[in-house]
Amino acid sequence: MPDPTRPSGPRIIAIANQKGGVGKTTTAINLAAALVEQGKRLLLVDLDPQGNASTGLGFEPQARGLTTYDLLIEDADILDVIRPSSIENLYLCPATTDLSSADIELVANEKRSFLLHDALVQPAIDAYEFDYVLIDCPPSLSLLTVNAMIAAQSVLVPLQAEFFALEGLSQLMLTIRTVRQSANKDLRIEGVVLTMYDGRNNLSQMVESDARSNLGELVFKTVIPRNVRVSEAPSYSVPVLAYDSASKGSAAYRALARELLARHEKKEGKG
Residue 3 lies in a domain: no
Which CATH number fits the domain that encloses residue 59?
3.40.50.300
Residue at 5 is within a domain: no
Asked if residue 6 belongs to a domain, the reply is: no
Mean pLDDT of 221-248: 94
- The percent of residues in the chain predicted with pLDDT above 70, rounded, is 97
**Buried/exposed 55-93: b ≥16 CB within 10 Å, e otherwise:** bbbebeeeebebbbbbbbbeebebeebbbebebebbbbb
31 domain-assigned? yes
The number of folded domains in the chain is 1
Give a yes or no: residue 82 inside a domain. yes
pLDDT(216) > 60: yes
Average pLDDT over residues 150-173: 89
For residue 110, tell me if it sits in a domain: yes
Q: 33 is in which domain, residue-wise?
A: 11-267
Q: Which of 147, 137, 133, 214 is nearest to 183 (CA)?
A: 147
| Full-model pTM | 0.94
**Residue 100: inside a domain:** yes
Residue 186 inside a domain? The answer is yes
Give the tens place of pLDDT for each residue, 200-211.
989 999 999 999
Predicted confidence at residue 3, as pLDDT, reads 52
pLDDT digits (tens, 9 = 90+) for 66-113: 999 999 999 999 999 999 999 999 999 999 999 999 989 988 888 899
CB 222 within 8 A of CB 256: yes
More confident residue, 109 or 183: 183
pLDDT of 93: 98
Q: Is the pLDDT of residue 171 over 70?
A: yes
